[in-house]
Amino acid sequence: MARKSSSPGDESVTSGFSRRSFLKAAGVGAAATTMVGVGTGGQSAQVLGPDAVTFNLKVNGAVRAVTVEPRVTLLDALRNHLDLTGAKPACERGGCGACTVLLDGAPVSSCLMLAADAEGHEITTVEGIGTPEKMSPLQAAFVEKDALQCGFCTPGFVVAGTALLAKVPSPTLDQIKAGLAGNLCRCGTYGRVFEAVQAAAAKGKGG
Ligand code: FES
Ligand code: FES
């Protein structure tokens, strides 16, 4: 639907709803209930909430029960209920990649996903990729190449890089840049991050 051209302060739209009234309505709906598992035809829609519900999440190979309100994100469930703090809350709007985890092997922003929607999927966090005692080849390459400064973004880069190498074992530099394009490092350590991915790829182990 076309929007009227508007000044920054003019929130009217042709439908008769203003952006503010839409957000208010959406906020009320989110507080009351959460709909999860909606298929393309809506056939598997399930309405949960507003009270906490218990469901299972398969994280790093283990099935773990969580009891959370349906509005809770996967990121918060992992950090606050399962004590997995590797995924980091930074922008919390899908813009930085600090909260990246793997869902069935594909990188996702866990700040944008409801925990309840992750039920039935294989979730892998950076803790499941390796440990300080037994690092994955990519984690070891991050250490070897000194690919971090503050390190806050590092788990997200490791998770995204692991997904990239699983899909493209010998990526070009451009493929590495594209594979990590959803991750931001405020310190600007990109060069060393790219070197770490190249080093892990060269070892042919791919994380
Ligand atoms: S915290 Fe999720 S993308 Fe930034
Ligand atoms: S090392 Fe990534 S934000 Fe500093």
More confident residue, 172 or 36: 172
User: How does the average pLDDT of the chain come out, rounded?
Assistant: 84
* Best mutation site among 96, 153, 192 for ligand 2 pocket (most ligand atoms within 8 Å of CB): 153
33 in helix, strand or coil? coil
**What is the model's pTM?**
0.80
Atom of ligand 1 nearest to the CA of 99: 2
Tell me the C-alpha distance between 4 and 10, whole Å.
9
- Cα dist. 3→19, 20, 23, 123 in Å? 11, 14, 16, 39
Q: For position 35, what pLDDT does the model report? A: 64
Kindly tell me the sign of the dihedral angle through the C-alpha atoms of 33, 38, 41, 47. Answer: negative
Residue 184 CA to ligand 2 centre (angstroms): 8
Is 158:165 a contact under the CB 8 Å cutoff?
no
The strands making up 53-59's β-sheet, listed across from edge to edge, are: 62-68, 53-59, 122-124, 100-103, 106-109
150 lines ligand 2 (CB under 6 A): yes
148 lines ligand 2 (CB under 6 A): yes
Is 102:156 a contact under the CB 8 Å cutoff?
no
What does the block give as tokens for 124? 């892998």
Tell me the C-alpha distance between 198 and 192, whole Å.
10
- List, for residues 116-167, the tens digit of each pLDDT value: 999 999 999 999 999 999 999 999 999 999 999 999 999 999 999 999 999 9
Q: Which H helix or E strand runs over 154?
A: helix 154-167
| Residue 53 C-alpha from the chain's centroid | 22
Q: For position 47, what pLDDT does the model report? A: 82
* Best mutation site among 142, 189, 193 for ligand 2 pocket (most ligand atoms within 8 Å of CB): 189
Confidence band (pLDDT; 50, 70, 90) for 46? Answer: confident
Residue 179 CA to ligand 2 centre (angstroms): 17
Query: End-to-end CA distance of the chain, in Å?
Result: 45
